[in-house]
Structures are given as C-alpha cells and as structure tokens.
Amino acid sequence: MTQDSKLAVISPFIHIPETVKLTGCPRSTLIKYSELGLFVPMVRLLGNRIAFIRADVLAWVESRVASAREAANDEK
C-alpha cells in the first residue's frame, strides 16, 4: 500500500443523512429551509442524489452555535 492510498479523501459534498446527523434537523426540514433560503443551497448530483457543500453546512452550524452563545450572554 502506498502512502497516497492511506490518505482519507473528504468529499466537498455532504449528503443528506450526514447533514441530518450533523444538524439534528430532519431531511424534510433541511430541504424546505434550503428552498426558502433559510439553510444552505442544495446541490443536485447525478440522478436524484442531493447534497450540500460541506464548508457551507459547517459554516451554518458554526453561525448557529455563535448565535446561541450570544443569546446566552445577552440573558446574563
């Protein structure tokens, strides 16, 4: 096995099941909010495969965490 074959390949896309686990939001909510502009845009891959751009989802999660922390600090 070569050194290159040991490296993990991280896709720039994140599929729906992983996005559901990461955000805690149901599939239907993610799709609806994406269509309404309240979540990151969907990317249609081959066929009926839907994904999101991983960096966009991670940035969205971070913004939600920051908002929650800010709200908690405002209540003090």
CB atoms within 10 A of CB 40: 21
pTM listed for this prediction? 0.80
Domain residue extents for the chain: 14-75
Q: At what angle do helices 16-23 and 27-36 cross, to 10 degrees?
A: 90
Going by pLDDT thresholds of 50, 70 and 90, the confidence category of residue 6 is: low
pLDDT tens for 23-42 read: 999 999 999 999 999 999 99
Joined tokens for residue 64: 């939600």
pLDDT tens for 40-66 read: 999 999 988 999 999 999 999 999 999
